[in-house]
Amino acid sequence: MSWTAGLVVAIGAVFALAGFGLDPTWARLALTRGQYEQDVANLPRTDGAPRFKTFEWGDTGFAITASVSRTLIYDESGEVGLGSEQRSLAWRERLGASDEGRRVLRQEAGGHAIVKRISGHFYLLTESYP
pTM value? Answer: 0.76
DSSP per residue over 61-107, as a string? --TTS-EEEEEEEEETT-GGGS-GGGS-HHHHHHHHTSHHHHHHHHH
Note the maximum CA span of the chain. Answer: 56
**Residue 19: band (very low, low, confident or very high) from pLDDT cuts 50, 70, 90:** low
Domain residue limits, the chain: 23-129
**pLDDT single digits (tens) 54-108:** 999 887 766 666 688 889 999 999 999 998 889 999 998 988 888 888 888 887 7
The number of CA neighbours under 13 Å toward the Cβ of 76 is 15
Contacts of 12 (CB under 8 A, 6+ apart): none
Tell me how far CA of residue 20 lies from CA of 13, 26, 57, in angstroms.
11, 11, 23
**Is residue 6's pLDDT more than 60?**
no
The reported pLDDT for the residue numbered 42 is 94
Helix, strand, coil percentages (3-state) for the chain, rounded to 5, are 45, 25, 30
The reported pLDDT for the residue numbered 3 is 61
**pLDDT single digits (tens) 27-55:** 888 888 999 999 999 998 878 889 999 99
Question: What gap in Å lies between CA 24 and CA 34, rounded to an integer?
Answer: 17
The reported pLDDT for the residue numbered 34 is 92
